[in-house]
Structure 1
Amino acid sequence: MDRLDAMRAFVTVVSEGSFTRAAERLELSPQLASKYVAQLEQHLGVRLLNRTTRTLHLTEAGTYYQQRAQEVLHDIEDMEHQLGDLQTQARGRLRISAPVSFAIRHLAPLLSEFQRAHPAVGIDLQLNDRKVDIVEEGFDIALRIGHLKSSSLIAKRIAPVRLVMCASPAYLKQHGTPRHPEDLKAHRYLRYSYMEQEAGESVLRWLPGRGQHQSGEMVSNNGDVLIEAAIAGAGIALQPTFISSAAIKAGKLRVILPEHEPEPMSLYAVYAHRQLLASKVRCFVDFLDGYFGDPPYWDQFD
């Protein structure tokens, strides 16, 4: 008995719901498909399927084995595909979703260098701070910032994302510099619309008026707008250093409450499947890895 053939036959019988349809898909006779499953059960010493004249039902052991066997077969296919990719040039259109401010400030050089290395890959970059549905909206990969929750998507960490509270020297001179998070209640806070869904409780627990609309507040779904407003003296902003570092280095903004700096978030490359990953996606993820430095170049203040 070829164990892989038997495993493949069993998984296909379960997915197709019958030996006849599984045999057609595998281009085998129904008798041989049935023989493979019977040999597999004999080899394992357990019954995997309960058969009637019309239906098939997985046993408890069969349910467990089917899940693990599917993973093994996927891993084998993935390995073979990766070996094939060594001989295949990345090509085709790569659809990428990325956060607006990060893409505008930091992606253009990367994409240019990537295309020089992989000239057969075209780029379709769509900017949006909301979390797109990669599968439904047809993206190959999405760059996301935050603390990602577990999901069926594959996520590779690319870089840390540091958050700082900052305000202009003029604003701090007029309104005073907060010495403790409680002092923020007396200040104007420039609120980023998506912060609560991205940053998590560790970041948000001490922000003023969280989850509430405050009189005279400024809210935006774009971090660049809030940083420019902070530079103009409109209030205090909590934003990533990949947006704010240039203004901080130039003295246009000052970091406040550095001892209460939130736990860093991360930039992730997110894609739908690990198995049979297209060369263009794998090459792009590999290109991202380490590109921004450690720490990232925007956090190198000295």
Structure 2
Amino acid sequence: MRAFVAVATLGSFAEAARQLRLSPSVVTRSVADLEERLGLVLLNRTTRSIRLTERGEIYLDSCRQVLEDIEGAERRVRGEDAEPRGALKVAAPILFGRLHVLPIITRILTKHPGLTIHLTLSDRNVHLAEESVDVAVRVGDLADSSLIAIRLGSVSRVLVASPGYLERRGIPKAPSDLSGHDIIAFESLDATNEWRFGTAGKLVRVEPRLTVNSADAAIAAAEAGLGICRTLSYQVMSSVLARRLAPLLVGYTPEKLPVCAIYPARRIASTNLGAFVKNAREYFRDEPLVPIEDWEIPASRDLAMHR
């Protein structure tokens, strides 16, 4: 059942084998044995794709429920205070995961030698059920109300540029001034070319000269003097404090975005999940996300944080 669920979810025998840490032949044989036992074809296979049959879709839902029940039974028999063990799959944005989630995972693995963790870093929002993710860290408002959310902190959108760029092109004093500047867009943060400013949510249309799908690349481009970039505060804090970048239009910053750990309600009794949430709370209590207004930015003779 685990092999079938993995193949159906990932659409690939090879990827399922990689996720399960089994050989492709074992996964292929497992699904074939399952189909033979049921006397049904669960997956239509072609050279290009793998698709569920109608019966396969029905069986997939049942398999997921059975596997959840088994995991729940194991958790109950071990007791709520059982030592975390087995596997936990975590997802997080790339840069946030590297800066903040990896230290949390380091704490957990140090405390619990029986636990293994699979960390997926991606700037897209993974689908927890379809990708078998136990817990994800999300930055921003949550659309899916069926998930349980534990708030860990908040961040804000920040405009930054290098001191060299600002010396050449001047400092924008209002959002409308951005039309006269070179813009670097980060796709995951900017779904459109209309940027919202202030609590009133005024929209300003920008025309990016450079668009990237990586926060690291957007920040590097801004540090290189290619233009003004909009990022999240945690992404550029070190660059601003080191004066490689200067924040702009801080007085027009829109409302803060929540940072949450999210997970399905059915996972609430998971000992492994409980360990992650407990350690995440402890980490952000010791290392809180600092709003830009409280950053101790070194004074500069030439440039200041423009409000």
Q: Report TM bin, short chain.
A: 0.5 to 0.7
Aligned to 1:248: 240
Counterpart contact for 1:147–1:200, Cα < 8 Å: no
Aligned to 1:141: 135
Q: Taking structure 1 as the reference length, what is the TM-score of the superposition?
A: 0.65
1:231 to 209, 213, 223: 223
- Does residue 92 (structure 1) correspond to residue 89 (structure 2)? The answer is no
User: CA 1:192/1:284 → structure 2, altered by over 3 Å: closer, same or farther?
Assistant: same
Moved over 6 A (4+): none
Aligned to 1:26: none
1:156 to 145, 150, 160: 150
Residues 143-292 of structure 1 correspond to what in structure 2 (within 5 A)?
143-196=137-190, 205-209=202-206, 214=207, 217-274=209-266, 277-292=269-284
Shift of 1:135: 0.5
1:63-90: CA deviations, max 9, x gaps? xxxxxxxxxxxxxx9xx9599312x111
Aligned residues with identical type, % of pairs: 30
Shift of 1:277: 2.7
Aligned residue identity for 2:79: G
Shift of 1:149: 2.1
Counterpart contact for 1:95–1:124, Cα < 8 Å: yes
Paired residue secondary structure (1:174): helix
Distance 1:276 1:164 in 2: 35
Shift of 1:145: 0.8
Aligned to 2:289: 296
Aligned residue identity for 2:131: E
Aligned to 1:47: none
Shift of 1:274: 4.7
Aligned residue identity for 1:127: L
- Does residue 109 (structure 1) correspond to residue 83 (structure 2)? The answer is no
Distance 1:169 1:283 in 2: 43
Distance 1:85 1:129 in 2: 33
Distance 2:145 2:109 in 1: 30
Distance 1:218 1:289 in 2: 37
Distance 1:290 1:190 in 2: 35
Q: Taking structure 2 as the reference length, what is the TM-score of the superposition?
A: 0.64
User: CA 1:251/1:202 → structure 2, altered by over 3 Å: closer, same or farther?
Assistant: closer
Distance 2:282 2:258 in 1: 13
User: CA 1:141/1:297 → structure 2, altered by over 3 Å: closer, same or farther?
Assistant: same
Counterpart contact for 1:180–1:257, Cα < 8 Å: yes
Counterpart contact for 1:223–1:239, Cα < 8 Å: yes
Shift of 1:224: 1.2
Counterpart contact for 2:138–2:262, Cα < 8 Å: yes
Q: CA RMSD, aligned part only? A: 2.9
Aligned to 1:53: none
1:1-60: CA deviations, max 9, x gaps? xxxxxxxxxxxxxxxxxxxxxxxxxxxxxxxxxxxxxxxxxxxxxxxxxxxxxxxxxxxx
Distance 1:274 1:177 in 2: 51
Q: Give the length in aligned residue pairs.
A: 219
Counterpart contact for 2:267–2:273, Cα < 8 Å: no
What runs of 5+ residues in structure 1 fail to find an aligned partner? 1-76
User: CA 1:95/1:265 → structure 2, altered by over 3 Å: closer, same or farther?
Assistant: same
Shift of 1:196: 4.0
User: CA 1:226/1:201 → structure 2, altered by over 3 Å: closer, same or farther?
Assistant: same
Distance 1:183 1:277 in 2: 52
Distance 1:246 1:82 in 2: 46
Aligned residue identity for 1:227: I
Aligned residue identity for 2:150: K
What runs of 5+ residues in structure 2 fail to find an aligned partner? 1-71, 297-307
Counterpart contact for 1:97–1:127, Cα < 8 Å: yes
Distance 1:190 1:298 in 2: 23
Counterpart contact for 2:152–2:261, Cα < 8 Å: yes
